[in-house]
Amino acid sequence: MTAVTSPEQIAGWLAQLETPAGSPPLIIAPGTLEDIIKEAVQHARDGRYLEALYTLEGKPYPQPFASLAGDAVASAGDSDWLSLGLVLWMRGVIHLQAGNCVEAYIDLHVTRDVFDQRIRTARQRLLEGDDYNDGDHPDRLRFSAIIAWCQQRRKDLQVDLACNAEEVYGWIHGIRGEEQVLRPHTRQMWHIISSKIRNNEWQTVEKYLEELVDFSDEGPDYLEKPEVLTLCGRALHQIHMHPMAVAHLRRAVAEFHPRSHKQAAARWMLGTVQWCVEWEQRAAIENLERSIEEFEQLQANARRRDQKASPGDQSLEDWYGERLDAMRKVLADRISKRYP
């Protein structure tokens, strides 16, 4: 499982960050951060992902930025926060390379939160500054540049999120009217099975999975079975049982209503997991391409109906559009990697 953005590319963005005159002192010395990043990038390039992740370890933030979770929050400047966002992004990308989809999901989402907060802060500063009406005022130019930079990085980040099945699972239920359909007994059975999967109790897991799928097939809502199959595929993917995950997700796609939102999102999820299995990569590209076509049709339908993704949220057309931009870049990347 690989992201589109490479650790080397993120390291390049880090090297280009500048600290404006008058800013508070950096939380971490630039030279120290440069050495850490250089080591992590080299480990990742050589396929030593555990060593790379050890270099960037720390909770909630990598160790060099630990103070940003405590007393240093008030004194941190934009460069500190932007550096933190990029380092978390790099760690998320390396987690993806190592197959750690849950950890990657967490780091990439925190990265997005960091960038979003910088955008909000910069916009607020522009509104508060009486002197910023002058288009050439240095602070106005700086805050505007931060907003533009973060917005572009956020678009790049969305591409890497679209590579992660954990992220895409959220798309399936990510809009109004597409909530998960599971009966209480099904949820209870699933919690038991997911616990056994995490504990590697494989003697009973396979049998329980089939019983759960059979049980879901007897429910009053036809959607419960593909929902369960998707859950099974997600859990198996998390523990690197990719061929079994593919089998369950393929069945889920077939069971969802044709050309529906859930089928289109589940198909993209299937493609992301298939990419982890070498002999499935050709089929992965086919599913990714077909999912894009389905999302395009869903976007056109949403445009005609002027729908919202959720109450008070962005339009459903924009929701699909944001993901389509990322999906097209992921597909192009997969084709170039499959056929260099």
Per-residue confidence (pLDDT) for residue 202, from 0 to 100: 74
pLDDT digits (tens, 9 = 90+) for 101-142: 999 999 999 999 999 999 998 888 888 765 555 555 667 788
Q: What share of the chain is helix, strand, coil (3-state, %, to 5)?
A: 75, 0, 25
Dihedral of alpha carbons 169, 170, 174, 180, sign: positive
Q: Over the chain, what is the mean pLDDT?
A: 88
Q: Is the pLDDT of residue 252 over 70?
A: yes
Greatest mean pLDDT among 141-145, 160-164, 232-236 lies in: 160-164
Range with the poorest average pLDDT among 25-29, 237-241, 252-256, 305-309: 25-29
Alpha-carbon gap, residue 3 to 161, rounded angstroms: 8
Residue 162 main-chain phi, psi, to 5 deg: -70, -10
Q: For the residues 33-59, what does the mean pLDDT come to?
A: 94
CA distance linking residue 229 with residue 192, whole number of Å? 15
* 99: nearest Cα among 201, 203, 214, 241: 241
Percentage above 70 pLDDT, the chain: 90
22 has a pLDDT exceeding 60: no
Whole-number Å distance between alpha carbons of 289 and 281: 12
> What per-residue string of b and e applies to 90-120 under the rule 16 or more CB within 10 Å gives b?
bbbbbbbbbbbbebbbbbbbbbbebbeebbe
Domain-by-domain residue ranges, the chain?
Answer: 7-161, 176-338
Task: Tell me the range of 33-37, 77-81, 129-133, 135-139 where mean pLDDT is highest.
Answer: 33-37
Confidence of residue 36 (pLDDT cuts 50, 70, 90): very high
Closest CA to 195 of 244, 235, 165: 235
Residue recorded with tokens 């050439």: 136
pLDDT, one tens digit per residue, over 203-246 is 777 778 888 888 887 777 788 899 999 999 998 898 888 999 99
pLDDT of res. 134: 55
Cα gap 228→224, rounded to integer Å: 6
What are residue 308's DSSP bridge partners?
Answer: 315
pLDDT, tens digit, 9 for 90 and up, residues 253-262: 999 999 999 9
Distance of alpha carbon 339 from alpha carbon 293, whole angstroms: 21
Sign of torsion, CA 240 242 245 249?
Answer: positive
Residue that has been written with the tokens 């909770």 in this structure: 59
Give the mean model confidence (pLDDT) for residues 49-53: 96
Q: What is the C-alpha to C-alpha distance for residues 176 and 113, in angstroms, rounded to an integer?
A: 23
- Write the CATH number of the domain with boundaries 176-338: 1.25.40.10
Confidence label for 306 from pLDDT (cuts 50, 70 and 90): confident
Average pLDDT over residues 3-21: 87
Cis peptide before 226 (omega within 30 of 0): no
CA atoms of 111 and 104, how far apart (whole Å): 11
